[in-house]
């Protein structure tokens, strides 16, 4: 009896081992845990879809230091005239700390100031650019906060265009991801932040100012394409970085970190090792008829602004889908390129990003009733 019990125990143990091995073999390979980082807030984002691949404290409000200048640069490329010549004001020339030694009355172009802003992190250039775009720093700050709201930066408030410490000036790693994703869609912006060195004129000197990009990632990481560094005593070392391998572009952020560059390098290595860019639907293959109220045409055809792409692991490919969302009430007039809805990309049933739907053509509004009556009366009189 004892022997039978022992034999039964051995058989059950062998059966358990076989089942366990079978289960282990059948289980999908897991993505390695993200490498350790020391930033108080870190984020890894797919630049195409906005999908967050990894984050820690990404929604915690932080002091951004000079990464603030990403918003300043974005507003310059969106609203400024790059060829415009700017006369440097006393206010700009006297801005403290990081600068390119602009002098009151000096004349320099917006484009040259943009390079000074993004490479040398020049505070004097940021004030000069703010004044050139909006007329004053105060008006420019209003534009900064308005644009932040448009981009969905819910935990951000700007008080200046350069990032020097000021009460009420804060953002988050996630909000900086949204901002950087938008800024990098502009060719001028992406070209500037990827530039290692650049020369601009220096008034009353026989030589030019040599600008050297403070973003060491451009020298240290293969595929790095930007974006911006920052430091104050309160904010600590902050870097928003971007890197590209093949079609995949990643944005990595580390705020208030004693090891900011190792943080970003580790995040990029993790992202490129485990994710690839999947095209869920090409833009030209997807069109949607959107109803238009009070229009000369009843509908307008809309298309995604870009291809529907998202960073996924091999295992996630089969779990990826998209849905189309049309704005409830689109009223004429509708302008070509106007946003009329969006596509939501989902991975494993979770929202992973959005792509805007834009109108392919313009739709004029119907003329007012009074105008129609006048036309009818005019026709009747002629008859």
Please list the active-site residues.
66, 69, 121
Give the separation between CA 241 and CA 56, rounded to whole angstroms. Answer: 16
Q: Classify 249 in phi/psi space as left (phi over 0), alpha (psi -120 to 50) or beta.
A: beta
DSSP 203: T
Give the separation between CA 337 and CA 305, rounded to whole angstroms. Answer: 9
| Residues forming a β-bridge with 109 | 85
- DSSP-based three-state secondary structure for 206: coil
| Contact yes or no for 33/329 (Cβ under 8 A) | no
CA distances for 379 relative to 369, 370, 374, angstroms = 15, 14, 9
| Residues forming a β-bridge with 292 | none
CA distances for 200 relative to 113, 126, 205, 285, 311, angstroms = 8, 15, 12, 45, 38
| Contact yes or no for 183/93 (Cβ under 8 A) | no
Contacts of 38 (CB under 8 A, 6+ apart): 254, 257, 258, 259, 263
Closest CA to 152 of 357, 360, 353, 359: 353
Give the separation between CA 244 and CA 161, rounded to whole angstroms. Answer: 28
Closest CA to 43 of 236, 276, 278, 271: 271
Give the separation between CA 43 and CA 57, rounded to whole angstroms. Answer: 8
């Amino acid at each position: 009896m004892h022997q039978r019990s022992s034999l039964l125990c051995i058989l059950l143990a062998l059966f358990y081992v076989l089942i366990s091995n079978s289960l282990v073999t059948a289980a999908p390979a897991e993505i390695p845990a993200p490498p350790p980082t020391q930033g108080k807030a870190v984020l890894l984002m797919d630049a195409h879809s906005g999908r967050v691949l990894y984050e820690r404290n990404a929604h915690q409000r932080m002091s951004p230091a000079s990464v603030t200048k990403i918003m300043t640069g974005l507003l310059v490329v969106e609203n400024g005239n790059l060829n415009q010549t700017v006369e440097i004001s006393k206010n700009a020339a006297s801005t403290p700390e990081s600068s390119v030694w602009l002098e009151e009355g000096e004349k320099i172009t917006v484009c040259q100031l943009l390079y000074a802003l993004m490479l040398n992190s020049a505070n004097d250039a940021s004030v000069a650019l703010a004044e050139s775009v909006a007329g004053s720093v105060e008006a420019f700050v209003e534009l900064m906060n308005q644009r932040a709201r448009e981009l969905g930066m819910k935990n951000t408030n700007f008080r200046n265009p350069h990032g020097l410490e000021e009460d009420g000036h804060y953002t988050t790693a996630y909000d900086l991801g949204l901002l950087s994703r938008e800024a990098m869609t502009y060719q001028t912006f992406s070209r500037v932040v990827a530039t290692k060195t650049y020369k601009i004129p220096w008034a009353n000197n026989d030589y030019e100012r040599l600008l050297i990009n403070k973003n060491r990632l451009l020298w240290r990481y293969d595929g790095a394409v930007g974006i911006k560094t920052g430091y104050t005593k309160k904010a600590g070392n902050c870097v928003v970085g971007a890197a590209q391998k093949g079609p995949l572009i990643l944005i990595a952020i580390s705020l208030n970190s004693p090891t900011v560059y190792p943080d970003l390098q580790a995040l990029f290595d993790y992202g490129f090792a485990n994710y690839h860019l999947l095209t869920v639907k090409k833009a030209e293959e997807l069109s949607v008829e959107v109803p238009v109220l009070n229009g000369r045409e009843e509908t307008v055809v809309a298309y995604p602004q870009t291809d529907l792409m998202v960073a996924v692991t091999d295992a996630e490919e089969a779990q990826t889908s998209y849905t189309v969302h049309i704005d409830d009430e689109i009223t004429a007039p509708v302008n070509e390129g106007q946003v009329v809805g969006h596509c939501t990309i989902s991975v494993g049933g979770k929202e992973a990003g959005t792509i805007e739907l834009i109108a392919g053509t313009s739709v004029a509004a119907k003329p007012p009733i009074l105008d129609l009556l006048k036309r009818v009366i005019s026709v009747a009189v002629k008859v």
